[in-house]
Amino acid sequence: MTSLLELEHVTKRFGRVVIAEDLSFAVGAGDVVGIVGPNGAGKTSLFGLISGDLAPDAGQVRFAGRNVTRLDPADRCRLGVGRTYQVPRPFADMTVFENLLVAAQQGAGLRRRASYAAAVAALERTGMSSQGNVPAERLGLLQRKRLELARALATQPTLLLLDEVAGGLTDPEVAQLVEIVRGVNADGIAVIWIEHVVRALTAVVSRLICLAGGTFVGDGEPTAVLAEPAVREVFLGTDVTAALAGGTLETTSAADAEREPS
């Protein structure tokens, strides 16, 4: 089976800052892949390279059998790449429902009735049904993150890119989110999920990638990757390796540092 998404020797630098150094990896249709890494590792930039917000200096991005390296974000979205932004970017002066309509009409290419139904479906799936007519600017941070997810879903993607949608959520909310992602994946949508809240990732993903300094330092089965010394070193710092000996993933300091006050 051919891969849904393929990155081949993708390199991106901003001056001396290396964002991606000769990255190659493939994601199959229906896969769920988690990405972890310290701040500044190039995680969000990797999403930019996949979604088209960033153009690589070298290498190729292939999606659904097509070379999409030169396609802009709108065209990649229409092919099936849906993404969320770590810092939510709602259409502030539009209602939640209108936000989703943009995605359903433009990203999924749906007309009137069908676009309304797709927007309503995205509202229901993300538990935002009661907020359809709320102007996006009135939403709190957590609701904005939820809107990001709903809008990406409304584009009816085959690949969903989630950028830290669990940060700041309580445990029951994380569980709820995990259920949403499971449901999305059950529909055959591939998911790549960047997250500091590792317990959310390990609940869903079958594969974990650790990114640091624009290169992969680990890739494989989640518990195995998190146990690798190289991963522990970049992700947690050398001194906490001993603290992690028990293997509890909850102790990741990065996860706590990321939690926003709510």
Q: Which of 7, 36, 43, 85 binds other proteins (CB under 8 A)?
A: 85
**Per CB under 8 A, 153 contacts other proteins:** no
Closest CB to other proteins among residues 69, 105:
105
**Per CB under 8 A, 51 contacts other proteins:** yes
Contact 156, 107 (CB under 8 A): yes
Q: Which residue matches tokens 């901003």?
A: 14
Closest CB to other proteins among residues 45, 105:
105
Q: What does DSSP say about strands 5-14 and 17-27: parallel, antiparallel, or unpaired?
A: antiparallel
**Per CB under 8 A, 155 contacts other proteins:** yes
Piece of the chain touching other proteins by CB under 8 A; list 26-34, 111-119, 168-176, 181-189:
111-119
Q: Which of 12, 83, 144, 145 binds other proteins (CB under 8 A)?
A: 83
Q: Which of 107, 167, 214, 218 binds other proteins (CB under 8 A)?
A: 107
163-182 residues in contact with other proteins (CB under 8 A) are none
**Per CB under 8 A, 70 contacts other proteins:** no
Contact 27, 33 (CB under 8 A): yes
Piece of the chain touching other proteins by CB under 8 A; list 3-11, 27-35, 112-120, 204-212:
112-120
DSSP string, the chain: ---SEEEEEEEEEETTEEEEEEEEEEE-TT-EEEEE--TTSSHHHHHHHHHTSS--SEEEEEETTEE-TT--HHHHHHHTEEE--SS----TTSBHHHHHHHHHHHTS---HHHHHHHHHHHHHHTT-GGGTTSBGGG--HHHHHHHHHHHHHHT--SEEEEES-STT--HHHHHHHHHHHHHHHHTT-EEEEE-S-HHHHHHH-SEEEEEETTEEEEEESHHHHHHSHHHHHHHH-GGGGTGGGG--GGG-HHHHHHPPP-
**Per CB under 8 A, 227 contacts other proteins:** no
CB 78, min distance to other proteins, A: 5
Contact 196, 190 (CB under 8 A): no
Q: Which of 9, 14, 40, 109 binds other proteins (CB under 8 A)?
A: 109
**Per CB under 8 A, 235 contacts other proteins:** no
CB 144, min distance to other proteins, A: 11
**Per CB under 8 A, 141 contacts other proteins:** no
Piece of the chain touching other proteins by CB under 8 A; list 49-57, 163-171, 232-240, 252-260:
49-57
Residues that bind other proteins (CB under 8 A): 51-53, 72-75, 77-78, 83, 85, 89-95, 97-99, 101-103, 105-109, 112-113, 116-117, 120, 129-130, 132-135, 138, 151, 155
